[in-house]
A = this chain, B = another copy of it.
Amino acid sequence: MQRYFVAAEQFGNSDIRIIGEDAHHAVRVMRTKPGDKFIVSDGQSRTALVAVREATPMLIRAEILEMLSADTEPSWAITIAQSLPKGDKMELVIQKGTEIGAYAFMPFQSERMIVQYDGKKEAKRIERWTKIAKEAAEQAHRNRIPSIEPVHSWRELIQSFGSYDLVLFCFEREGHAAHGRGIRSAVREWIERSDSASEPSVLLIVGSEGGFTDREANEAEAAGAVMVGLGRRILRTETAGIVGLTCLLYESGEMGGA
């Protein structure tokens, strides 16, 4: 069943409204008409099954038939911090990461970043990334749209560590067989040590094509990050976040099992 996100103010007590580009898409492309049913979420907590009463390219008004409680959000809030990669790789990270279940994305700058960072283009890019997250969240039937944080400097990234229960730093040292310690042992040790009963918030830090310098790794470690590896193969920058996120969700119990 088709799923849409609307702003909280368009989500009423008995009906919901879809406006703007979404209404245009629903009527012109998806051929939505009165009587059609779909699922609407406010991107935060409310999700409902609705039936369309009125459908124009400018406005769709639909009646709430049933509030749904089905929660499709993971219990661990995992933020992927990705050093800005080349081309449209950030889009792949956001699309796939949203499907799999990331909580948020934090682009950041690092020393060996290959792209030229352009602050002027930032607003436009954040806008585009937010749109990709929204579409992927709809497609994946999520209740929540992951947030896209502004591009952080290296300093701001380090300063953000305090906001997370666990900070993991994906680091591969050329020529080292072990590529640091496996993410599984690091996370399990943390779980055993941690006395918090609540679900953790995790920051998963991934380098760009050029990787990290030793200085950056040392700084991150000194600030509390745990160095981890993602297996014995070298992953492309846009693959590492997807793989790390999947590992964390697997460990958290999202894929079943006790």
Contact = CB atoms under 8 A, between A and B. Distances in A.
A233 B71 CA distance: 10
B234 A141 contact: yes
A140 interface: yes
Determine how many copies of this chain the complex contains.
2
Most B CB within 10 A of own CB, among A175, A246, A255: A255
A17 interface: no
A48 to B, nearest CB: 15
Contacts of A236: 99, 139
Given A72-B232, A99-B236, A229-B256, 14 more contacts: A96-B242, A101-B231, A140-B233, A140-B234, A141-B234, A142-B233, A182-B254, A183-B256, A184-B257, A185-B258, A230-B255, A232-B254, A243-B246, A246-B246
Interface bracket on A: 35 or more
Contact of A239 (B99, B181, B186, B253): B99
Contacts of A96: 239, 242
A235 B100 contact: yes
A90 to B, nearest CB: 16
Contacts of A115: none
